[in-house]
Each structure stands twice: as C-alpha cells, then as structure tokens.
Amino acid sequence: MRSSRRKSFLVRTLTDVYIVGSGETKYGELWEKSLRELAVEAGLKAVEDAGIYSKDIQILYGSSSLAGSINGQNDIGSLIADFSGLASSNIPALRIEASSASGAAAVREAYLAVRSGEYDVAMVGGVEKMTDIYGSETLDLIGTTLDREWEWFMGATPAAMAAMTARKYMKDFKVEKESLAMVSVNDHENASKNPNAHFRNRLTLEGAMGATMIADPLNMMDCSPMSDGASAIVLASDRYVKAHKLDGVKIVSSGISQDYLALHSRESFYRLNSTAIAGRTALSKAGIKASDVSFLELHDSYSIYALIELEDLGFAEKGQANQLVGDDIKLNGSIPVNPSGGLKAKGNPMGATGIGQFVEAYLQFMGKADGRQVKSPKYGMLHNMAGTGSTSLVHIVGGA
C-alpha cells in the first residue's frame, strides 16, 4: 500500500498551461454598465476568442477587490458563472481576493488548478465597478489596501504611503521628480494606442509635472485612476490545447510572496521584498534571467513604484532605475514597460487589473497588439501588487 502510494506520487506529472483566449471591456468611467454586465462582457469575449463553448469551462475563478464594499455584492464567482449562463453547469466558481493583487492571484489559482492536472479548462475573470459611489467614498475604500487600523485610521491613503516612499527614495538616491513623471508619460504614450485604455491622451512631461497635488510629491499624474472595467482569460492544459488544436500563449511560471501588511513595519520603505522574492521565484522556475524578458507589465499604481519595481525585479541597481525611464522603457526601447498603458493610463479597475496584464501579454504574443506591438517578444513579465507591497505576484509568459 505504502509503496504504491509512493509510486503514484512519483509518476505524477505537471501539465503545461496556456492562455487560449482573452476578453476585456473598455476601462474607464462606464456609468451605463453594471458590475455584472462588465464581468459577463469580458467573460463572453474570452470564451468566443478561445473558440470554445461556455460548457467546456470546468472551473471559474472570479476576482474583485471592492465589490463587497462598493456594490454590496459578494460571491463574485457565482455571479459571473450565473450571468455567463453557466449556473446549470454547476462548476466550481470562487472569488479570489488579495486587494489590488486579486487579479493575478486568481490567475495563479487557476494556473495551479490546471497545472496539477485536476482541470483542463479554467476561466479567470476580474471585475471592478468603482464609479458607482462618489470618488471620496471610493478613496475611503481603496484604503482597504492598507493596514486599516494603524495606517488608514490615522489619515493615510494609498497615495500618501506611496508619497512617503517617494520622498525618502528621491532624497536618499538624489532622484528628480521628473524621473517619476516619465513613467506616466510612457504609460500615456502606450495607452494612446490601446482602444480599451481609460486615458488615451498623450501626456507631456510639463503636463505630468504640473498636475494637481494629491500627496506631495505625488500629483494626479503620478496616480492611477479609479476605473470601471473587466478582464478575462481562458486557460487550458497542454493536452486540451493539442486535442482541440488551439493557439495559446504559455504561462511559463508563477511566483507569489508577502511582506508586512503595513509599510511602517518593513525594513526598507523603498525595497519591495514581496516583489523581489516573487520575481526571483518566477525567473528561477522559468529558468531564465531578467535580461531574457522582452517586455514588462508593472503594477505602477503610483509612478514611484515603477522605478522601485524595475530595481527589485532585477532590471536596475537600487536607486538607479531613473537611468531606464528615458528611452529604455519605451515601446521600442531595451526593456519596454507597460505596452498596455499600465495602471496610470490603461487604468486600474483593481480586481481586473492583474488579469488585464495577462490580456495584454496574450495579445502581444499573438501579434494582435496593433500600434503598441512589441517586436518579436520572447518572454513577458507581469507584476501585480497589493497596496504598498504586502503581496506581490510575478508571472512569466511566452517562451514558445
């Protein structure tokens, strides 16, 4: 008995996992659309794009960060399954929540479910409906990404926490505010070529520098917007892809890590340990180096984080990412950052944001990214983060 059990463990093999379809709503202030309409629109587009039928989906993961607070709706997994016409399939459907990293966290769960061999086809859908309440109330609720009792209670907002990180970073490494602004300029440039982006206007450096102050030194052009939107992808196992002759983009590896919930508990205010560890894990599992990555989708909820993430993910030494924000991060640069437009300009519908990065990667590798297409990408790195860095996920996709 014992030996046969041991044997079955040894012969277990993990299957490769592919993204076989993607769907997305426009991101933005979509007053005419409800939470469920957004979720269903993205989900159905993904199913159609994958060339499968709804009944082929064996498990569904939904992600949303604030639906319970803003819309008073929980059990998003069932909501999406039901209104996508899947209720009678009675498949497992769960919501995954990890604050602003909910999207990638849901993809990771679906990836593991397929990778293990338990399921062949999984749907992952993320949705956020942030404009159903007043902006100041939404600001209150995005404070749930912080330590509610010891940061938010005292008057801290996510922008305030990012601003304190930015001030210390800029002082210690003598980095000018312009370097932060250039991240937003690049996001807007790329988003101008993305029809689903929240903001499609180009942004000048002067415009980025002169915007309304939010939390000094960060102004409105350093901060991602509150967006409505939904993104969905369909994942399938290697054998399913082969049996049904589907085109797909491989999820090569997945890394996740945590850090202290509150910024004040961390050993450094400009070193994102969770990001560094998740990044190293993803690279090592993929068997590649940072220099093998063709493009990055970074969680730049605030511009300062893009610089810090470039450093902690291995693309620059600490305090030196400002050397990359001129030309290197551009679409035709040495390491294109946020071809989608990033959180600043594509938008930040929190629970959908991380899945939107996979939508972008899928389009890039399928050669469907139109005016923002990265030239013959080899690997894409996707980084999604909760709050000030309490949870980070890094995925490597591509590699065909």
Partner 1 sequence: MGELSSIWRESSHRYRLVGHKCGNCGTVYFPPRDICIKCHRESIGKISECNLSGKGEIVSFTIVHDVPPAFARQRPYAMALIKLEEGPILTAQIVDSDMDEIEIGRKVSAVFRRIREDGKSGLIQYGYKFVLDG
Residues that bind partner 1 in the complex, under the rule CB under 8 A: 136-137, 139-140, 143, 147, 149-157, 159-161, 163-165, 167-168, 171, 212-218, 262-265, 269
Main-chain dihedrals φ then ψ at residue 146, nearest 5 degrees: -100, -175
Nearer to partner 1, 196 or 388 (CB): 388
329 token code pair:
């991060």
The CB-of-68 to partner 1 minimum distance in angstroms stands at 12
Main-chain dihedrals φ then ψ at residue 199, nearest 5 degrees: -115, 120
- Residue whose pair of structure tokens reads 């297409």 in the numeric block: 373
Give yes or no for a contact between 21 and 118, defined as CB atoms under 8 angstroms apart.
Answer: no
Nearer to partner 1, 160 or 286 (CB): 160
Give yes or no for a contact between 247 and 372, defined as CB atoms under 8 angstroms apart.
Answer: no
Nearer to partner 1, 161 or 185 (CB): 161
Nearer to partner 1, 330 or 344 (CB): 344
Evaluate the omega torsion of the peptide bond into residue 225 and state whether it is cis, within 30 degrees of 0.
no
CA dist 221 and 211 (Å) reads 6
Give yes or no for a contact between 342 and 187, defined as CB atoms under 8 angstroms apart.
Answer: yes
Nearer to partner 1, 139 or 246 (CB): 139
CA dist 306 and 350 (Å) reads 17
Q: Give me the amino acid identity at 189.
A: E
Label residue 207 exposed, middle or buried (CB < 10 Å: 0-12, 13-18, 19+): middle
The CB-of-181 to partner 1 minimum distance in angstroms stands at 17
Identify the CA nearest to 122 among candidates 47, 64, 51: 47
Give yes or no for a contact between 19 and 251, defined as CB atoms under 8 angstroms apart.
Answer: yes
The CB-of-67 to partner 1 minimum distance in angstroms stands at 16
CA dist 360 and 34 (Å) reads 23
The CB-of-400 to partner 1 minimum distance in angstroms stands at 43
The CB-of-149 to partner 1 minimum distance in angstroms stands at 6
Give yes or no for a contact between 305 and 288, defined as CB atoms under 8 angstroms apart.
Answer: no
CA dist 203 and 185 (Å) reads 5
Nearer to partner 1, 34 or 258 (CB): 258
The CB-of-231 to partner 1 minimum distance in angstroms stands at 26
Give yes or no for a contact between 169 and 388, defined as CB atoms under 8 angstroms apart.
Answer: no
The CB-of-363 to partner 1 minimum distance in angstroms stands at 33
Nearer to partner 1, 208 or 214 (CB): 214
Nearer to partner 1, 69 or 281 (CB): 69
Nearer to partner 1, 157 or 275 (CB): 157
CA dist 278 and 313 (Å) reads 9
The alpha carbon torsion through 348, 349, 351, 352 (nearest 10 deg) reads -90
